[in-house]
């Protein structure tokens, strides 16, 4: 396995996104105004990174079924993602998520079971990568400590807790992480706080760099090494589907970190990539290409900082 820019690990899903005019109610039928099938879960991370020009690898479990085969080919052949650390398993169905997008948000329904192989089973030795990223949760992630020990930057995110218990013990895994990128709801739930800013304060005692994204309300970040704290507004866009936006945000931040950009520019670039992703249906498939960023650049000549950033890094 050649050295990569980023290796990501987590659950991969096949997503079916339905755009709805109104939320569904028992006893009624709602006709979708649009639909889109796309890789989802950790694939949102991987695809967004690859489209920004980073050499990306992914460690995930796929079912040896039609959905799994389609996802594998889509990610490897179409997006150029290295799947050397991933595995196809007989007898385990690839998870399927239906995302119902309406009112500038989405609700998710998933059919699936816990994968037979964990990230630690898939990544037995530290990957050769400048950075690694994972969805942490109530499962072991010992490989993160190994990756950090060999010099990789470690980025972590969290996903929805189906038990809604939000066990604070999950945050113990941040000991092995350099950057934590939760959304506001997740950050407040795990820290038992009532505002994103308060959650940021608690999380800053556990990990050096924390970025809390908050949808249309923007994002806040703190770098404990320098004491720098910033707040960045969201980019106003018409939202069609927010599925995967948090992962795309995190991918933008990771890319900008590897480009050695200042904290505020990293967060602003992440916010822009996430904003562009919500204008389309789909998770991974909605992640912007450089052509999408260049189009935004042409339409917003007044934003000199992002203009320069996009010009400097386009095509990397």
Rounded CA-CA distance 117/128 in Å is 21
Per DSSP bridges, beta strands 153-158 and 129-136 are: parallel
Specify the pLDDT at position 282: 74
The secondary structure element, H or E, covering residue 223 is: strand 219-223
Angle (deg, nearest 10), helices 245-258 and 263-277: 150
Lowest mean pLDDT among 153-167, 225-239, 291-305: 291-305
Share of the chain above pLDDT 70, in %: 97
Instruction: Report the half-sphere exposure of 111 (CA within 13 A, side-chain side).
Output: 9
For residues 294 and 193, give the distance between their C-alpha atoms in angstroms, rounded to a whole number.
39
Q: Which pLDDT band, with edges at 50, 70 and 90, does 298 fall under?
A: confident
Alpha-carbon dihedral sign for residues 213, 244, 29, 110? negative
What is the mean pLDDT of the segment spanning 14-25?
88
More confident residue, 200 or 241: 200
Q: How many CB atoms sit inside 10 A of residue 165's CB?
A: 10
Report the pLDDT value the prediction gives residue 58, as an integer from 0 to 100.
Answer: 96
Q: What is the mean pLDDT of the chain?
A: 90
CA distance 90 to 69: 12
What pLDDT does 239 receive?
79
| Closest of 134, 104, 127 to residue 42, by C-alpha | 134
Please give the Cα distance from 45 to 143 (Å, whole number). 18
For residue 74, the 8-state DSSP code is: I
pTM (2 d.p.): 0.90
Find where tokens 């037979």 sit: 116
Determine which of 148-162, 204-218, 291-305 has the lowest per-residue pLDDT on average: 291-305
Q: What is the pLDDT of residue 301?
A: 77
Give the distance, in angstroms, between the CA of residue 76 and the centroid of all CA atoms in the same chain.
18
Structure tokens belonging to residue 188: 């407040």
pLDDT of residue 2: 67
| 105 Cβ neighbours under 8 A, 6+ residues apart | 242
What local confidence, expressed as pLDDT, does residue 27 receive?
A: 92
Other CB atoms within 10 Å distance of the CB of residue 302? 7
Query: For residue 299, what pLDDT band results from cuts at 50, 70 and 90?
Result: confident
Interval 135-140 mean pLDDT: 86
**pLDDT the model gives residue 186:** 93
Reported as a pLDDT band with limits 50, 70 and 90, residue 237 is: confident
Instruction: Give the residue, 198 or 311, on which the prediction is more confident.
Output: 198
Q: Lowest-pLDDT range, 32-46, 89-103, 188-202, 231-245?
A: 231-245
Phi, psi of 156 (to 5 degrees): -130, 145
Radius of gyration (Cα) for the chain, nearest Å? Answer: 18
Angle separating helix axes 263-277 and 304-313, nearest 10 degrees: 80
Look at 146-155, 224-233, 238-247, 269-278 and tell me which has the smallest mean pLDDT. Answer: 238-247
H helices present in the chain, as ranges: 42-51, 66-73, 119-122, 142-149, 184-191, 196-203, 245-258, 263-277, 290-299, 304-313
- Which percentage of the chain shows pLDDT scores above 90? 63
- Three-class HEC string of 237-290: CCCCCCCCHHHHHHHHHHHHHHCCCCHHHHHHHHHHHHHHHCCCCCCHHHCCCH
pLDDT band for position 304 (50/70/90)?
low
Q: What is the pLDDT of residue 244?
A: 79
Residues 173-186 have pLDDT tens digits of 999 999 999 999 99
Per-residue pLDDT reduced to its tens digit, 62-118: 999 999 999 999 999 999 999 999 999 999 999 999 888 888 778 888 998 989 999
Residues 12 and 114: their CA atoms lie apart, in Å, by 11
């Amino acid at each position: 396995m050649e050295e990569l820019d980023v290796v990501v690990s987590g659950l991969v899903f096949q997503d079916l996104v339905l755009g709805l005019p109104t939320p569904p109610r028992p006893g009624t039928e709602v006709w979708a105004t649009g639909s889109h099938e796309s890789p989802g879960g950790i694939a949102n991370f991987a695809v967004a990174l690859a489209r920004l020009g980073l050499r990306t690898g992914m460690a995930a479990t796929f079912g040896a079924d039609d959905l799994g085969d389609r996802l594998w080919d889509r990610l490897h052949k179409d997006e150029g993602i290295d799947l050397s650390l991933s595995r196809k398993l007989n007898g385990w169905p690839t998870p399927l998520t239906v995302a119902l997008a309406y009112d500038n948000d989405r609700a998710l329904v998933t059919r699936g079971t816990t994968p037979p192989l964990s990230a630690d089973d898939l990544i037995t030795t530290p990957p050769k990568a400048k950075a690694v990223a994972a969805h942490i949760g109530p499962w072991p992630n010992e490989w993160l400590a190994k990756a950090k020990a060999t010099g990789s930057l470690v980025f972590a995110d969290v996903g929805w807790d189906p038990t809604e218990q939000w066990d604070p013990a999950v945050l113990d895994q941040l000991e092995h992480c350099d950057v934590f990128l939760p959304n506001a709801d997740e950050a407040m739930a795990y820290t038992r706080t009532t505002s994103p800013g308060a959650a940021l304060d608690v999380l800053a005692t556990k990990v050096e760099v924390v970025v809390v994204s908050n949808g249309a309300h923007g994002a806040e970040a703190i770098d404990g090494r320098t004491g720098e704290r910033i707040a960045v507004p969201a980019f106003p866009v018409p939202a069609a589907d927010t599925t995967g936006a948090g992962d795309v945000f995190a991918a933008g931040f990771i890319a900008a970190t590897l480009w050695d950009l200042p904290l505020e520019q990293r967060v602003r670039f992440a916010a822009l990539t996430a904003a562009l992703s919500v204008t389309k249906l789909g998770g991974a498939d909605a992640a912007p290409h450089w052509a999408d960023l260049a189009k935004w650049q042409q339409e917003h000549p007044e934003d000199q900082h992002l203009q320069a950033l996009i010009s400097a890094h386009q095509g990397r």
